[in-house]
Amino acid sequence: MKTHLRRLDTTALVYLALVGVLIISAVLVATTGRSFFSPGNIRDILTGMSVLGFVAIGQTLVILGASLDLSVPYVMSLASLVAAQTMNGNDAMVLPAVLLTLVVTACIGLANGLIVTVLGVHGFVATLGVGLMLKGYLDTNYQGTEGSVPWSFQLFGATGIGPVPISTIVMLALAGLVGFILVRTRFGHHLFAVGGNSEVARLSGVRQRLPLIGAHIGSSVCAGLAGLLLASRLGVGSPTVGSQGSYDLLSIAAVVLGGTVLMGGRGSIWGTIGGVAIFAVLDNLMSVMQFNPFLKDVIRGLVIIIAVALYARRRVIARRIRFIRSPTGPIIAAGSEPNGLEPNGLEPNRSEADISEAAGAHNGTGPVLDQESAPDQESASGHRSAPDHERSQG
Amino acid sequence: MRTGLRSAIGIAGAAALIALAGCTTDPSVEPAEAEGGAQEEAPAEEWFDQEVYDQQFKQREVVPEGPEDKPYLQMINPEMGDTSEFKSDGGKKMCFANASISNPWRQTGWITMNEQLKELKKDGVITEMETRDAQDNDDTQIADIDYFISEGNCDGFIISPNSTAAITPAVERACKTDKPVIVFDRGVETDCAVTFIHPIGGFAWGIDTAQFLIDNLSEGDKVVALRILPGVDVLEQRWAAADKLFDEAGIEVVDYFTEGDPAEIKKVVSDELAKGDVQGIWMDAGDGAVSAVEAFEDAGKDYPVMTGEDELSFLRKWKDTEMTALAPVYTNFQWRTPLLAAEKIFKGEEVPTEWVLPQSPITAADLDEYLDRNEGMPDGHYAKFGGEDMAGFPQVWQDRVIP
Amino acid sequence: MNPRIPETHLGDGGLRQLLRRAADPRGAVVILLIVILIAIVVLNPGFAEPGALMRFIQRVSPVAIVAIGQYFVIVSGEFDLSMGAVVTAQVMTAGYLIGEDDSKTVPVLIIMLVIGVVVGLVNGLVTTLLKVPSFIVTLGTMLVIHGGVMWWTGGAATGNPAESFRQLGRGGIEGLPILDLLPYAVLILLAVTVFAVWISRRPFGRTVVAIGDNAQAVSFAGANVWRTKTLAFVLSSLAATVAGVLLAGYAGVHPSVGQGYEFTAITAVVLGGVVLGGGRGTVLGALIGAFTLESLFTLLNFTAVPATMRDAIQGAIIIAAVAYSGVVFAKKHKRPTTSANEPRDPGTTSAGAPSPIQLTGGDGAARK
């Protein structure tokens, strides 16, 4: 239960930060003589959340699996084109077009996943490369917007219930679904396990490749959904719409802002949604206040760094506990400090954070079956005396 | 945690159900009714359009109507539209949905527009202009327009679309508010706006530039075409016209995308010079032109015949090197016109439904004049910015004061 | 795996050695580079002339220097996404502050170096002390620096800096026999490379690689992790600064100079056999990666490949290169389960001679 609280803590912190941003925004917007909570403004924020939200949900999956997906902008553009061209203004083609788009994007995700797992290419390089290939395809084959989306499908992006756009509701439903999959299914547990420590997961009998391939498929399909939403809002497919929003880097930032650890293995979908919401509220605020667009980037950058810094340390402290909720593998709490091997105080250069990390891990100790930090421990013990010149360097 | 998630899923599920049930609920964003079959045709694959080409070809020769000393109020072949329904007194609030200020051309225009705004504020015509900048993102711009419609309290809209087809539905929604809508720079696929302000267009650029190169080169000569990005209509039309003319004249052309990065431009031109002689350089936008010229200098080759843009760095290099060149213009002073059009509309004066501004290139004959007029301006400034008569001149443009 | 192959390639007849290493990933990239260069020469014999070759190296210099800077960060297990923004900021700063005034060249150069150091310090300290992932820190500083410099200068280029300043990137020593012109950029690249190779063989260089392999172990071993990593970030920003100086000369001042350099640099480094996630790779690998990437672009310029396909080819090649090196590496190291006991290829942990440190952290390539 302790770990549940701990994980909630990070997500709770994200929402606390969101509340903070909301309060600041409400006050500042009020100074311009407007209401922050007016329907139009709420819709503006929620609309801003939808597209990034879809992408970030998928991005959360791959990041949990200790990978990355930089191909999302091009997947989105391609999805918008596939959808708009297949529909071509015809109501009857909406369903086939949506299905075709999802299949196409799933195939891209499968390719990403296979390159990452089977060929062993780092997710950053694999998806950067696949993204570039898609970009080349798009630039070569499309000279501008194409296709057309019938009105029935445009409603997806243009309607809402009161101030809440349908697209946001669908996005949140997807978040709920993915959240459920992550917490309740084998796939989810295995993804956490592989992302936390692929080697330990393997020793525990988890197939390493499948969860990560699944995560990449999920990410591409989510990007495909974002592309569908964009096609619906634009009324056409566009070869540049994905790259216009820098959704690759922004979605990664939103995921980390939402408390998911970039190295994988820890995090939550709802944290991500919180991170996306922080961005959306901030963007809304800066637009209402008519900030200089260049200044907007400065503030975005500062917020990303400061917000993540605020809870990064907490995360580091709690970091050693991974996939404790896995019902399939052995219960593993990586808590054991390399006792005795490490002469505390003898190392003048050791940073405070390291000490607190070790201490935090120690506090979190449950049933101790420490496979995770074992290699570290061994290497530390095995070669502690080796790098004398290193010591003199530091 | 589990209960939290469960309830979250519950909420999400319930919300989805409501969504399904409530689709008929009147949305705050009004759907355009007769939209069903409006866009059956997919846009053409190729950018070349003979009809528009011919039209722009002719417009280049037309002497524009309007005051001679105010090019930003001149118009080519105007078909005036009635605006009496918008006639009303008092200061107005305008809402401006801008595509971006991410390149020097747009920055220059944006500075000019703000100076124009100051003048109109002083006259009491316009009390306020609220601006949202979409940072080059279609989706953001659609949201911006929707925000203006519901929250902006706008008396009129000015929209500089980020892209043509994608922004069309949002512009239609703005039109449905029955407030005047003014579109400028790139167009949209609807004529619901009171006026659409733009220079002659991309084909005219392509014709002027290609014609100049063809006149100064001979058959079989080689031209390197430096393009920014694929897929942007304004730029693609420039290339479509030029490519056609080069082809007809038997000029050999190779085209490259450089994203406007001078380093990239220099590499491309250097490689072309390494392959063989290059007699001409054609550009679809002039930033970075200087580095193309410098590539010739560094390779020790003769200067090419070149078309750039009215960006000052190019004009200055042109002057220094005395090369054979032409500076086509994508009229920057068009950024003054939307606010002046709004003034006319609120007075109930007629404005053209399509307000075509002149777009005449700077030739060797006018080069000195434009360099004199823009003395002290930074390199990234555009010569035909049209703000010489305004209060902030020249300081505001020199200091690049961007609100 | 001797990391000195690149030198033998550049210099004398180490051909036999080269062939022996052909199967090695880093050997493979050298082969790729040679194949591309040969293809260029076949298409355009003039390329092989010393003068043209010098011009080519001059053009690659900024990318190569940025790649070398990125190397130190990557090998320590981090990312530096702010490099492109730093390049842009430095180019704009040069244009804005120097103007036509020759006498300002030196003071402004000092200001630029200070900016570079400060950016590196911020990146490094926030990453190490505040424990923010470097991907996020440098993404943030990228936005801050780029937005900030555009806000400050109003976006448009003021003008090119004085010619004396631009000579660094554009000019060279003229009138030499054979070479005709020896560009300053080539000399600067040489100096940067020599410095980087030297420092990578110093304790700092070894520690940085060891940290990328297993930071915790290094810290247990008594080395100062945060100071070393911060220094790596400072080196990276300084490299971006030097590249900015060269580009302001080579290309001139424009806000789009430097755009995308962070990804170009990472691609180059990865092509050169440096492993993302840290712990493996050499300075010369990064250098060769940069040359390979740029000569690939040159080759595409020389062939009739449509301009739009360039990205696709680049994408395919980096995946293939990394996949190849991964497969070869995996074969060499058959799935280390308790890898701590397994002897490792000495070349993988340090840039110099076999290192006394043998720190391992499991199968780094698969995990990260």
**What's at A145, amino acid-wise?**
T
Q: Nearest CB to C252: which of B103, B267, B290?
A: B290
Cα(A157)–Cα(A250) distance, integer angstroms: 21
Q: CB distance from C340 to chain B under 8 Å?
A: no
**Alpha-carbon dihedral A169, A170, A175, A176, rounded to 10 degrees:** 80
Cα(A57)–Cα(A65) distance, integer angstroms: 13
Structure tokens at B179: 């407030």
pLDDT of residue A161: 86
Q: How far is A266 from chain C (nearest CA, A)?
A: 14
Which residues on chain B are in Cβ contact (under 8 Å) with C160? Answer: 290, 313, 379
What angle is formed at CA C114 by the lines to CA C112 and CA C117, rounded to 5 degrees? Answer: 110
- Average pLDDT taken over every residue of chain A: 80
**Could you report the per-residue pLDDT of C76-112, keeping only the tens digit for each?**
999 999 999 999 999 999 988 988 888 888 999 999 9
Q: CB distance C276–A390 less than 8 Å?
A: no
Which residues are CB-contacts of B208 (< 8 A; sequence separation ≥ 6)?
B60, B307, B326, B328, B361
Q: CB distance A252–C130 less than 8 Å?
A: no
Cβ atoms B181, B157 nearer than 8 A: yes
**C133 to chain A: nearest residue by CA?**
A262
Q: CB distance B151–A41 less than 8 Å?
A: yes
Q: What is the DSSP letter of B322?
A: T
Which residues on chain C are in Cβ contact (under 8 Å) with A139? Answer: 308-309, 311
**A256 to chain C: nearest residue by CA?**
C136
* Helix axis angle, C163-170 to C225-250, nearest 10°: 110
CA B174 to chain centre: 20
Cα(A181)–Cα(C104) distance, integer angstroms: 62
Look at strands C172-176 and C180-183 and give their pairing: antiparallel
pLDDT above 70 (res C357): no
Strand segments (E) across B235-364 = 252-257, 280-283, 305-307, 325-326, 351-352, 354-357
**Could you report the per-residue pLDDT of C231-256, keeping only the tens digit for each?**
999 999 999 999 999 999 999 999 88
Residue in B261, B283, B309 to test binding to C, most C beta-carbons within 10 Å: B261
**Could you report the per-residue pLDDT of A21-41, keeping only the tens digit for each?**
999 999 999 998 888 999 999
pLDDT of residue C344: 36
Cβ atoms C240, C113 nearer than 8 A: no
Residue in C96, C301, C310, C313 to test binding to B, most B beta-carbons within 10 Å: C301
Q: What is the DSSP letter of A368?
A: B
CA distances (Å), origin B223, targets A296, B226, B251, B261: 41, 10, 7, 19
CATH 1.10.3470 for domain A2-317, yes or no, is: yes
Bond before B394 cis per omega within 30 degrees: yes
Q: CB distance from C308 to chain B under 8 Å?
A: yes
Q: CB distance from A6 to chain B under 8 Å?
A: no
**Could you report the per-residue pLDDT of A180-229, keeping only the tens digit for each?**
999 999 999 999 998 888 778 888 877 878 999 999 999 999 999 999 99
Domain boundaries, chain C: 37-327
**C149 to chain A: nearest residue by CA?**
A294
Domain boundaries, chain A: 2-317
Q: CB distance from B46 to chain A under 8 Å?
A: yes
Instruction: Report residues of chain B scoring pLDDT below 50.
Output: 1-45
CA A117 to chain centre: 19
Cβ atoms B235, B202 nearer than 8 A: yes
Q: What is the DSSP letter of A221?
A: H
Q: CB distance B294–C252 less than 8 Å?
A: yes
DSSP-derived 3-state class of residue C110:
helix
Cα(A291)–Cα(B132) distance, integer angstroms: 9
Structure tokens at A149: 């989306």
Q: CB distance A125–C276 less than 8 Å?
A: yes
Cα(A199)–Cα(A368) distance, integer angstroms: 18
Cβ atoms A97, A86 nearer than 8 A: yes
Q: What is the number of alpha carbons within 13 Å of residue C147 lying toward its C-beta?
A: 19
Q: Nearest CB to C307: which of B255, B267, B399?
A: B255
Of the two residues A364 and A275, the one the predictor is more confident about is: A275
Q: CB distance B378–C159 less than 8 Å?
A: yes
Count the Cβ atoms, other than its own, within 10 Å of residue A342. Answer: 20
CB pairs under 8 A between B and C: 105
Q: How far is C139 from chain B (nearest CA, A)?
A: 18
Which residues are CB-contacts of A150 (< 8 A; sequence separation ≥ 6)?
A87, A89, A90, A91, A93, A94, B36
Q: What is the number of alpha carbons within 13 Å of residue C88 lying toward its C-beta?
A: 31
pLDDT above 60 (res A148): yes
Cβ atoms A252, A72 nearer than 8 A: no
pLDDT above 70 (res A324): no
Q: CB distance B36–A151 less than 8 Å?
A: yes
Q: CB distance C252–B287 less than 8 Å?
A: no
Cα(A28)–Cα(A12) distance, integer angstroms: 24
Cα(C211)–Cα(C225) distance, integer angstroms: 7
Q: How far is B59 from chain A (nearest CA, A)?
A: 26
Cα(C174)–Cα(C167) distance, integer angstroms: 12
Structure tokens at C301: 């310029």
Phi, psi angle pair for C342, to nearest 5° = -85, 135
Q: CB distance A312–C226 less than 8 Å?
A: no
Cα(C305)–Cα(C313) distance, integer angstroms: 10
Strand segments (E) across B192-313 = 195-199, 222-227, 252-257, 280-283, 305-307
Cα(B13)–Cα(C318) distance, integer angstroms: 43
Q: CB distance from B33 to chain A under 8 Å?
A: no
Q: CB distance B22–A161 less than 8 Å?
A: yes
Phi, psi angle pair for A159, to nearest 5° = -100, 165
The pLDDT confidence band at residue A370, using thresholds 50, 70 and 90, is very low
Phi, psi angle pair for C253, to nearest 5° = -95, 125
Phi, psi angle pair for A258, to nearest 5° = -85, 10
Cα(A166)–Cα(A159) distance, integer angstroms: 6
Q: CB distance A44–B45 less than 8 Å?
A: no
Residue in B136, B269, B294, B301 to test binding to C, most C beta-carbons within 10 Å: B294
**C229 to chain A: nearest residue by CA?**
A394
Name subunits touching C (3+ CB pairs < 8 A).
A, B
**Could you report the per-residue pLDDT of A76-95, keeping only the tens digit for each?**
999 999 999 999 999 999 99
Cα(A104)–Cα(A320) distance, integer angstroms: 38
Structure tokens at B284: 């679809």
Q: CB distance C357–A253 less than 8 Å?
A: no
Complex confidence, ipTM: 0.84
DSSP-derived 3-state class of residue A109:
helix
Name subunits touching B (3+ CB pairs < 8 A).
A, C
**Could you report the per-residue pLDDT of C320-329, keeping only the tens digit for each?**
988 887 777 6
Q: Nearest CB to B104: which of C95, C156, C308?
A: C156
Q: CB distance from A325 to chain B under 8 Å?
A: no
Q: How far is C142 from chain A (nearest CA, A)?
A: 7
Q: CB distance C252–B400 less than 8 Å?
A: no
Structure tokens at C29: 């990239």
pLDDT above 80 (res C160): yes
Which residues on chain B are in Cβ contact (under 8 Å) with A166? Answer: 19, 23
DSSP class per residue in C190-245: HHHHHHHHHHHHSHHHHHHHHHHHHHHHHHHTT--HHHHHHHHHHHHHHHHHHHHH
Q: CB distance B263–C251 less than 8 Å?
A: yes
DSSP class per residue in C114-175: HHHHHHHHHHHHHHHTS---HHHHHHHHHHHHHHHHHHHHTSS---PPPHHHHHHHH-EEEE
Q: CB distance C312–A140 less than 8 Å?
A: yes
Q: How far is C218 from chain B (nearest CA, A)?
A: 37
pLDDT of residue C334: 52
Q: CB distance A151–B28 less than 8 Å?
A: no
Residues A65-72, mean pLDDT to the nearest whole number: 94
Of the two residues A258 and C25, the one the predictor is more confident about is: A258
Q: CB distance from B284 to chain A under 8 Å?
A: no
Q: CB distance C311–A294 less than 8 Å?
A: no
Which residues are CB-contacts of B180 (< 8 A; sequence separation ≥ 6)?
B83, B86, B156, B157, B194, B342, B345, B346
Question: Nearest-CA neighbor of C279 among C211, C222, C362, C340?
Answer: C211
pLDDT above 90 (res C118): yes
Cα(A237)–Cα(A230) distance, integer angstroms: 8
CA distances (Å), origin A367, targets A3, A315, A358, C195: 13, 21, 17, 51
Q: Kindly state the percentage of chain A with pLDDT values over 90.
A: 58
Strand segments (E) across chain A = 160-161, 164-165
Q: CB distance from B231 to chain A under 8 Å?
A: yes
The pLDDT confidence band at residue C307, using thresholds 50, 70 and 90, is confident
Q: How far is C194 from chain B (nearest CA, A)?
A: 25
Cα(B292)–Cα(C145) distance, integer angstroms: 28
Beta bridge mates, B307? B282, B326
Topology of domain C37-327 in CATH is ABC transporter involved in vitamin B12 uptake, BtuC (1.10.3470)
Q: CB distance from B127 to chain A under 8 Å?
A: no
Q: How far is C13 from chain B (nearest CA, A)?
A: 28
* Helix axis angle, A247-257 to C134-153, nearest 10°: 120
Q: CB distance from C297 to chain B under 8 Å?
A: yes
**Could you report the per-residue pLDDT of C183-227, keeping only the tens digit for each?**
999 999 999 999 999 999 999 999 999 999 888 888 888 888 999
Lowest model confidence (mean pLDDT) among A88-102, A109-123, A339-353, C16-30:
A339-353
Residue in A62, A130, A142, A199 to test binding to C, most C beta-carbons within 10 Å: A199
Structure tokens at C334: 């058959």
Question: Nearest-CA neighbor of C209 among C288, C298, C285, C300?
Answer: C285
